[in-house]
């Protein structure tokens, strides 16, 4: 068991501007931010490490209808019309299962352009990163330059189980090993001891969920 893979242990991470990150990822981000600034692009992190308990609270809020579910076009879904399996699928469009988020690792970050949008107004939706959006120039710069610093987009259309996220970067030199080490059987043990909504329906298909939403990610655009 590797507790750090499931959001249960953050002791190996370092504090980075009020966030927690893996130390090499933090160092690489600092270098990337400096390079972006020299090119006239601002970059900031809005989410880094997230604990199991935090992910659990997100899951339970969505699974109980207390927090809005969105479809692939970011439009509201009628919670009352969904079966248990449909609810799980709807949650997983945009939120990870507790213990299965890459944000547990300290290698993955969500980024935005603070010069063009306030953090409080940020929604982390595709239109903010597409042409005309406040983070579009940042997204274009990252597509061209992030790989130089070890970062890439793990969630891409047709290349990952998770929906495309133009704001989510992964520090591949570390996260590649974590992806390989991630164990569905260990996650099952963690979840079996947790109090979360849709538990039985989730555990009954856990192998499939891990294969699709954890192991199936886009390959990096650079050689090892």
The confidence score (pLDDT) of residue 69 equals 87
Residue 221: the pLDDT is 83
Distance CA 198, CA 13 (A): 31
**Stretches in the chain below the pLDDT threshold 70:** 223-224
* φ and ψ of 131, to 5 deg: -50, 130
How would DSSP label each residue in 131-183?
TTSTTHHHHHHHHHHGGGGTEE----TTT-SSPP-TTEEEEHHHHHHHHHH--
Predicted local confidence at residue 224, as pLDDT: 54
Residue 165 near residue 47, CB atoms below 8 Å: no
Residues near 161 by beta carbon (within 8 Å), at least 6 away in sequence: 92, 211, 212, 213, 214, 216, 217
Burial tier of 224 (Cβ tally within 10 Å: 0-12, 13-18, 19+): exposed
- Measured CA to CA, the distance from residue 153 to residue 165 in angstroms comes to 8
What end-to-end distance do the CA atoms of the chain give, in Å?
26
Query: Alpha carbon of 16 to those of 21, 188, 200: distances in Å?
Result: 7, 31, 38
- Spatial contact of 36 and 91, defined as CB atoms under 8 Å apart: no
Letter string b/e over residues 57-82, b meaning 16 or more CB atoms within 10 A of that residue's CB: ebbbebbeeeeebbeeeeeebebeeb
Give residue 1's pLDDT. Answer: 83
pLDDT at 223: 64
Residue 80 has a pLDDT of 85
b/e code 113-148 from CB counts within 10 Å (16+ = b): bbeebeeeebebbbebbeeebbbbbbbebbeeebee
- State pTM to two decimals: 0.92
The pLDDT of residue 93: 86
């Amino acid at each position: 068991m590797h507790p750090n893979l499931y959001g249960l242990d953050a002791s190996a991470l370092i504090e980075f501007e009020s966030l927690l990150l893996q130390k090499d990822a933090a160092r690489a981000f600092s270098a990337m931010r400096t390079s972006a600034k020299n090119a006239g692009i601002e970059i900031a992190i809005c989410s880094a490490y997230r604990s199991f308990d935090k992910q659990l609270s997100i899951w339970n809020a969505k699974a109980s209808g207390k927090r809005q579910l969105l479809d692939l076009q970011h439009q509201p879904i009628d919670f009352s019309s969904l079966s248990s399996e449909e609810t799980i699928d709807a949650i997983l469009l945009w939120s990870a299962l507790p213990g299965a988020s890459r944000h547990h690792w300290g290698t993955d970050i969500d980024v935005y352009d603070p010069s063009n949008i306030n953090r409080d107004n940020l929604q982390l939706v595709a239109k903010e990163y597409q042409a005309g959006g406040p983070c579009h120039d940042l997204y274009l710069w990252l597509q061209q330059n992030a790989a130089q610093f070890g970062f890439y987009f793990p969630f891409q259309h047709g290349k990952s189980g998770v929906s495309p996220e133009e704001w989510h970067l992964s520090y591949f030199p570390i996260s590649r090993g974590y992806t390989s080490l991630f164990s569905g059987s260990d996650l099952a043990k963690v979840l079996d001891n947790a109090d979360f909504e849709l538990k039985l329906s989730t555990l009954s298909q856990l192998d499939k969920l891990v294969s699709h939403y954890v192991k199936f990610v886009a390959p990096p655009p650079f050689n090892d």
